[in-house]
Amino acid sequence: MYDVISSARIYKQDFLLLTPQWDSYTDPPIPLNWKCVKFEQNNANQIPTKKGVYAFFVEPRIAGFPSHGYLMYIGQTGHNSERNLRKRFRDYLSEKRRPERPLIHFMLTTWENYLYFYYVEVDPSELNIKELEQKLLDTFIPPFSQAGYSAEIGPTAKL
């Protein structure tokens, strides 16, 4: 039988909604054209083999409510490596089956039917991908991101 109290302990997450960080956000010099796919195996080939930034959102998409979600994680590809968005998407699919990072595995499996992968292609010659990731992390402080924050925000993310 479904026990609401026991389940609530598993699904409970703390979010830091730090509005001064939101207020200090400035758009990068190029527009960010975010795209979204449901995080599932059959969507892997839709993801481009370009460098960029990505985020995981939990989105219920029920009851006819306007779209809303919970930003859980932000990452980047291509900074000092040959990784690309499709490769990272597939890496996370593998992470669901073979957990190497317990916190990420927990995120991927706990909300697997409601998880969406947002991504934006970024040309490293136009914008520093690592700096964009850090800026987004510092602005939103997602609960499953553990690294990549600035020295100023890093301690706050661990509260």
What's the pLDDT tens digit per position in 5-20? 888 888 999 899 999 9
pLDDT digits (tens, 9 = 90+) for 146-157: 999 999 998 888
What percent of the chain has a predicted confidence (pLDDT) above 70?
A: 98
What percent of the chain has a predicted confidence (pLDDT) above 90?
A: 75
pLDDT digits (tens, 9 = 90+) for 91-141: 999 998 888 899 999 999 999 999 999 999 999 999 999 999 999 999 999
Segment 73-85 shows an average pLDDT of 87
Residue 71's DSSP bridge partners are: 57
Q: Please, what is the average pLDDT of the chain?
A: 92
Report the pLDDT value the prediction gives residue 116, as an integer from 0 to 100. 98
pTM, two decimals, is 0.94
Report the pLDDT value the prediction gives residue 79, as an integer from 0 to 100. 67
Total Cβ atoms within 10 A of residue 35: 15
Q: Which tokens is 21 given?
A: 């960080």
Classify domain 34-157 by CATH architecture: 3-Layer(aba) Sandwich (3.40)
Helices (DSSP H) in the chain: which residue ranges? 4-11, 19-24, 85-97, 102-110, 129-140, 154-157
Q: Which tokens is 157 given?
A: 């993310």
Residue 115's DSSP bridge partners are: 58
**Where in the chain are the domains?**
34-157
Segment 16-39 shows an average pLDDT of 95
